């Protein structure tokens, strides 16, 4: 899907430097960054979901430990 992204000048310059150092395009750098961000966010969401399940499952144990 086509998309226009407007970046602040300083961020654009940083991405340009990275792309130049890697001998690749800014587009490739942005795709990699977006993929890393999406993967990180989905992992964070899964971890939080698992943690919520643990809290619910062991709420009574935690309460007893709290009162001990």
Note the pTM of the prediction, 2 decimals. 0.63
Q: Whats the size of the chain, residue-wise?
A: 68
What does the domain layout of the chain look like in residue ranges? 9-67
| CA dist., res. 16 & res. 40, Å (int) | 23
SS3 per-residue string spanning the chain: CCCCCCCCHHHHHHHHHHHHHHCCCHHHHHHHHHHHHHHHHHHHHHHHHHHHHHHHHCHHHHHHHHHC
pLDDT per position as a tens digit, 2-50: 889 899 999 999 999 999 999 999 999 999 999 999 988 888 878 888 8
């Amino acid at each position: 899907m086509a998309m226009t992204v407007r970046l602040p000048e300083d961020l654009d310059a940083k991405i340009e430097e990275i792309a130049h150092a890697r001998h690749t395009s800014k587009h490739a750098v942005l795709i990699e960054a977006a993929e890393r961000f999406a993967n990180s966010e989905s992992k964070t969401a899964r971890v939080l979901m698992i943690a919520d399940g643990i809290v619910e499952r062991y709420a009574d144990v935690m309460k007893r430990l709290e009162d001990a």
